[in-house]
A and B are shown apart, each in its own frame.
Chain A
């Protein structure tokens, strides 16, 4: 090849390269920016074209839907460009589809909203074409997750919404109407169907939905006239997460913490902290027999009473220097101690807690019977107890359903025409 011809070929090749538009990373997969340690030669991460493959056009618009709590700008807003033939993502066969960004969890996983609590995918999610794509859009994913979190936090503030200012004004004016949801307002239980439909662990953790189902189960149990109905097994570790409310509810919760009392912040230092070991010791001594199904030793209960009196006296001198929340938590704790002592002194104390809960576990049916007998309700779950409440929710629903089946007349028992 003559030098002139070589030069012409070289110039043409250069011109051709320059004239070719660079590929948009969004249209490719398996390449792009990588984090540190992605592969040999990239110890600190960087940009790679290794393994780049163009995304097939049919993939656009086929990403799993976002379970959006609220619209997330730039992620699941309607995108008018999808109707434009000039849009690289345009596909006439998906004109009704919204253009989604990559929303799966980086590292070949799914977004939490796509996951069921039982493992696997929640309804509406599939292992379709986009499953398992590496995280070229991890930022979008995290933005979405954050936006969903923020949106759910805002949703909790809904009670504040537009009436917040008006309510505060009424309060200042000493109008007879108390702040909404206050002590002067009657509480309305949600309907059974709503309680059954709850799937959000944070909502279940309040115990309110469980109580609605519990009430229905108690009624159905009475209606079934002692018919034996199978129900889910509740293992000891699950029972340990159950918190009770109602008369003696807080006392039962406290009794079950014998030896490892959950002290509030006020007991972290100072004179109250000094009382912790004595209180723990006396409390354990007084409650251990009850947990084993034996009557309480009244002498030890009296000893506990003396210690609690000391706690009261110490708290009275300190409460005025505590934050409002610290003060209310400390007061609550001491009130619960008082209540527990009352329960320990009563003859029913032995039966309030089933010793089997901590050793063998129990069944949903037995738990419902026990709670009905002692007028107990479910209290708000402790931190980390949300999963237990979710399982309990399913167990209660299944039990309620089974009771419903029993109380319905069988077809062969129906009166004949």
Chain B
């Protein structure tokens, strides 16, 4: 799958009209700029590109981006996988290392049981040196399995600034890894000039969970080796990028629900799984048509698959357009989540987005762009104890910029669940916005903190 060409984006941009379209224009083109130049994928080595694994999944399960390239290519069935390529995997996609010692499988959290927001999986494979597989996990969940006939298999796992060595003790041993990042609530956005190398660059917080699902494994973290085994036993290891505490082993009596391989999916989970499989098949035939068709689908599950894919493939220009033209509040809601997810993926995405928002093409004032960034970051517990936080959010409901008023509404319904009953339309007219503003003002008067909702709400 290829990212839309700038010409195509420009055509789509020209078709827009009205205040909401303005918001879409902003994100269409500006966020496209934001996703512009790419550095080397994190955790990858500079070694020459070579085949390091083979996909063992149906066609279109993987999309790959070569280092330095902007576009993703959808891979066919049993495709060769090259070192250094960023691989974005659909749930269920699997691969086998070059020497056949380790298999990697991407998984999804269809029922939302995982502690981390498992939306998509992306990783890079490196040329293995003294190990059976060298994988740099960018985000998402992968299961590593020892597929040797006999003996241990060793996997070098890289993520952020970490290099861990995971030894899968015996054939069949399986370990799950899940990594995600977000800007902590209440982070303050500070624009940094590109030439200001001394400025302290803020970064989102990443969190990783390593869980032994089957058998036993040894994990070497910074020279310390920890013996782990599937539940009951020391099965869980957690890490975060703040580094306040070193990763510590945690005992698990049984596998947590999110990791249970034989867990029955809920009705919604089944729908999501079916939508993913349907999307994979459609993408195998025509990647672009598949995305378009799923974005326009009336089925929320299919729409979600398409939105996640846009974010996963860094096609945030199109994601912005989709959010701006959201037909339902659900679509808008989920779109914002995807955008927050994209911002939290790595350091610097926030600055890219800000630079795009303030570029002359779009013309957001620095103050408006900073408001958007703050609204995407969210609010700290201290902020939420201040009545003025709610007051300003309610002020924003009548903002001229649709992006600002829609994001303010996104927060308000989360912070004050009683306000769910107040109708909100992302494409509302000025009069409708004023009405919504009045209703919110009535619910949360100036200078007051909203009361706790009753249990029934």
Binding site for B on A (CB under 8 A): 154-155, 157-162, 164-169, 171-174, 176, 178-185, 316, 319-325, 327-329, 331-332, 335, 338-339
Quick check: A323 and B367 within 8 Å, CB to CB?
yes
List 19 extra interface pairs beyond A178-B384, A183-B415, CB under 8 A.
Answer: A154-B244, A161-B244, A162-B238, A165-B116, A165-B180, A165-B207, A165-B240, A171-B185, A178-B415, A180-B381, A183-B384, A183-B450, A321-B368, A325-B188, A328-B383, A328-B389, A331-B388, A331-B392, A338-B447
Quick check: A182 and B182 within 8 Å, CB to CB?
no
Quick check: A332 and B386 within 8 Å, CB to CB?
yes
Chain B residues within 8 Å of A181, by CB: 381-382, 384-385
Binding site for A on B (CB under 8 A): 112, 115-117, 180-185, 188, 205-207, 238, 240, 242-245, 333, 336-337, 340, 344, 365, 367-368, 370-371, 374-375, 378-379, 381-389, 391-392, 395-396, 398-400, 404, 413-415, 417, 446-447, 449-450, 452-453
Smallest CB gap from A322: residue in B: B367
Report Cα–Cα, A368/B102, bound state, in Å.
69
Smallest CB gap from B368: residue in A: A321
Chain B residues within 8 Å of A322, by CB: 367
Q: Looking at the complex, which one of A164, A185, A323, A328 makes contact with B205 (CB distance below 8 Å)?
A: A164
Q: Looking at the complex, which one of B182, B368, B386, B392 makes contact with A319 (CB distance below 8 Å)?
A: B392
Q: Would you give the shortest CB distance from A305 to chain B, in whole angstroms? A: 16
Closest 3 CB pairs of A and B: A181-B381, A169-B117, A331-B388
Report Cα–Cα, A316/B375, bound state, in Å.
19
Quick check: A179 and B368 within 8 Å, CB to CB?
no
- 24 pairs, A vs B, C-beta closer than 8 Å: A154-B244, A155-B244, A158-B244, A160-B205, A164-B185, A165-B116, A165-B206, A165-B344, A166-B115, A166-B116, A168-B182, A172-B337, A173-B112, A174-B413, A179-B384, A181-B381, A320-B395, A321-B365, A323-B371, A323-B374, A324-B375, A331-B391, A335-B447, A339-B447
Q: Looking at the complex, which one of A154, A166, A174 makes contact with B414 (CB distance below 8 Å)?
A: A174
Quick check: A176 and B417 within 8 Å, CB to CB?
yes
Quick check: B182 and A169 within 8 Å, CB to CB?
yes
Task: Tell me whether chain B's interface is mostly helix, strand or loop, or mixed.
Answer: mixed
Quick check: B116 and A169 within 8 Å, CB to CB?
yes
Quick check: A168 and B388 within 8 Å, CB to CB?
no
Smallest CB gap from A319: residue in B: B395
Task: Tell me whether chain A's interface is mostly helix, strand or loop, or mixed.
Answer: helix
Report Cα–Cα, A328/B379, bound state, in Å.
12
Quick check: B381 and A182 within 8 Å, CB to CB?
yes
Report Cα–Cα, A172/B342, bound state, in Å.
14
Assess A324 versus B207: contact at CB under 8 Å? Given A171-B185, A181-B381, A183-B385.
no
Chain A residues within 8 Å of B452, by CB: 183-184
Quick check: A328 and B388 within 8 Å, CB to CB?
yes
Q: Would you give the shortest CB distance from B410 to chain A, in whole angstroms? A: 9
Quick check: A161 and B240 within 8 Å, CB to CB?
yes
Q: Which of B207, B243, B333, B385 has the largest count of A CB atoms less than 10 A from its CB?
A: B207
Report Cα–Cα, A323/B180, bound state, in Å.
29
Q: Would you give the shortest CB distance from B342 to chain A, in whole angstroms? A: 13
Smallest CB gap from B182: residue in A: A168
Q: Would you give the shortest CB distance from B397 to chain A, in whole angstroms? A: 10
Assess A157 versus B244: contact at CB under 8 Å? Given A165-B206, A171-B378.
yes
Quick check: A328 and B447 within 8 Å, CB to CB?
no
Q: Looking at the complex, which one of A174, A179, A320 makes contact with B396 (CB distance below 8 Å)?
A: A320
Assess A165 versus B182: contact at CB under 8 Å? Given A160-B205, A183-B449.
yes
Quick check: B400 and A166 within 8 Å, CB to CB?
no
Report Cα–Cα, A228/B450, bound state, in Å.
43
Q: Would you give the shortest CB distance from B140 to chain A, in whole angstroms? A: 13
Quick check: A328 and B386 within 8 Å, CB to CB?
yes
Q: Which of A164, A181, A328 has the largest count of B CB atoms less than 10 A from its CB?
A: A164
Chain A residues within 8 Å of B184, by CB: 157, 160, 164, 168
Quick check: B340 and A168 within 8 Å, CB to CB?
yes
Q: Would you give the shortest CB distance from B409 to chain A, in whole angstroms? A: 13
Quick check: A328 and B392 within 8 Å, CB to CB?
yes
Q: Which of A168, A176, A178 has the largest count of B CB atoms less than 10 A from its CB?
A: A168
Report Cα–Cα, A175/B32, bound state, in Å.
31
Chain B residues within 8 Å of A335, by CB: 387-388, 391, 446-447
Chain B residues within 8 Å of A323, by CB: 367, 370-371, 374
Report Cα–Cα, A166/B392, bound state, in Å.
26
Report Cα–Cα, A319/B391, bound state, in Å.
11
Quick check: A165 and B392 within 8 Å, CB to CB?
no
Smallest CB gap from A158: residue in B: B244
Chain B residues within 8 Å of A319, by CB: 392, 395
